[in-house]
Chains A and B, each alone.
Chain A
Amino acid sequence: MSQRRRTRGAKPSMKPAEPVRLTTPLSEDQARSLRAGTRVLISGTAYTARDAAHKRMTELLAGGGALPFDISGAVIYYAGPTPARPGKPVGAIGPTTSSRMDRYVAPLLAAGLRGMIGKGERSDEVRQGLSRHGAVYFAATGGAGALLARHIVAAEVVAWPELGAEAVRRIELRDFPALVACDSAGGDVYGQGREAWVQD
């Protein structure tokens, strides 16, 4: 019944560090400087895409086509919002399960993708891709779609409107709260967090 508390797990008595402010697009150096477990506030442009849009994007890249937005230094948010009420840029917009997008990530990283926002663990392949290309994976709180919506100041569909909630949207983030979940140095907050708190 003893609890394994490794040095990498956050100590309960520790006061949370001030979040790091980031503005997109991200440079490779910026991405490489971030470490798993760091809270961040992200501002600037990002793009929403989930399952259906990822399938189309990777098909475009495989066929030598151009993506519907400039992916160099870009951050993709795995999210499909609820419809916007009049006067609001977007509806509730929390992260969806990232692992469903794992299979599509390699060609996007190769094309210049620098950051992803989602929820949940990533595959070994994705984490190795972060190291190879100098990119970062952020976790936002799953199920906090109303709170996160208040950090989106503009939104516009830029591709595949027929996909509805799954269309690609250009969104403007303002102090969007997230956590560096997987970094380019192999840090993984999910693996480390669980290991720190599991009780045998």
Chain B
Amino acid sequence: MREISAAEVSSAVERLASKSAYHLGVDELSALTRALGEEKSELGRGVLEELVKNAAIAAEGEYPICQDTGLAVVFVDWGQDAHLSGGSLQEAVDEGVRRAQKKAYLRASVLGGPLTRKNTGDNTPAIVHLRLVPGDRVRIVVAAKGGGSENMSRLEMLNPGAGADGLVEFVVRAVREAGANPCPPIVVGVGAGGNFERVAELAKRALLRPLGSANPDPELAALERRMLEAVNRTGVGPGGLGGTVTALAVHLEAAPCHIASFPAAVNIDCHAHRHGEAEL
């Protein structure tokens, strides 16, 4: 059986968390540049120009893209023929997050609890989503999730007969109510189906797809395009100052569900759409 050490996991997480805080992906950068060409509002274009400049300054390595360097959300697909040695997965991930916080000068944005509100001082613990998969490879995705956009996310148990119209209406309402708060232009992750907890994870996983990629199911892909058009008609615009580009993309993921249910979730990500991926 293949051995993978906790130290290897920590190093990968540290590297991904550090890099994503300073370097936007090429998909995100090209989406911002394209938005600058499409946006019709002058104030909106001003915001997009600042964001493109901001990304270039951050890439020089002195300042992170955003002061909210996020809660580390770590997705691990662990090959079942590999064995983790030298520590627990949570500890290994947290060690990587801790080192990134110190060495890459990231903000300590995590509290020990919502009521005590005492900062843990090192941005741990991370949220870890583990799936056991065939093979002996391990895939790790680190997403840095800001609080402003996470706060604007929504989950609703829709009427089972709500259909595509009901889902679109729910997504548009979430984006409209979020307004300027999640730092538009946003990326919208939509989950549909599953159950209460599954749908939230679907919405978050939808954000991991390459920006603007279509769902492989043509019907869901058509619905994504419809939702993107609808949220861009809300007028929220870049920075919430009014405009025609409110979202850079809408990604939809669907799953089987109970006959009585239509769970739906919207997980909003800001324009600082920070992800990193590695395979061990």
Interface residues of A (CB under 8 A from B): 9-12, 14, 16, 37, 39, 52, 79-85, 88, 91-94, 96-97, 99, 119-121, 139, 141-147, 149-150, 163-166, 177, 179, 189-190, 192-200
Contacts and interface: CB of A to CB of B under 8 A. Distances in A.
Given A121-B180, A143-B272, A194 B62 contact: no
B148 interface: yes
Contacts of A83: 105-107
Interface in B212-264: 233-237, 239-244
Contacts of B181: 97, 99, 119-121
Contacts of A192: 242
Nearest to A52: B117
Given A120-B180, A177-B50, A143 B271 contact: yes
Nearest to B230: A199
Interface string B60-79: 00111111110000000000
A190 B179 contact: yes
Tier of interface size on chain B: 35 or more
Interface centre among A9, A83, A88, A194 (most CB of B within 10 A): A194
A121 B179 contact: yes
Contact of B54 (A99, A146, A163): A146
A197 B243 contact: yes
B107 A96 contact: no
B237 A194 contact: yes
Interface centre among A12, A92, A189 (most CB of B within 10 A): A92
Contacts of B54: 141, 143-147
Given A85-B105, A194-B237, A145 B67 contact: yes
13 contacts: A9-B242, A12-B42, A39-B46, A52-B117, A91-B63, A121-B179, A139-B239, A143-B183, A147-B53, A165-B107, A193-B41, A193-B241, A197-B244
A147 B234 CA distance: 28
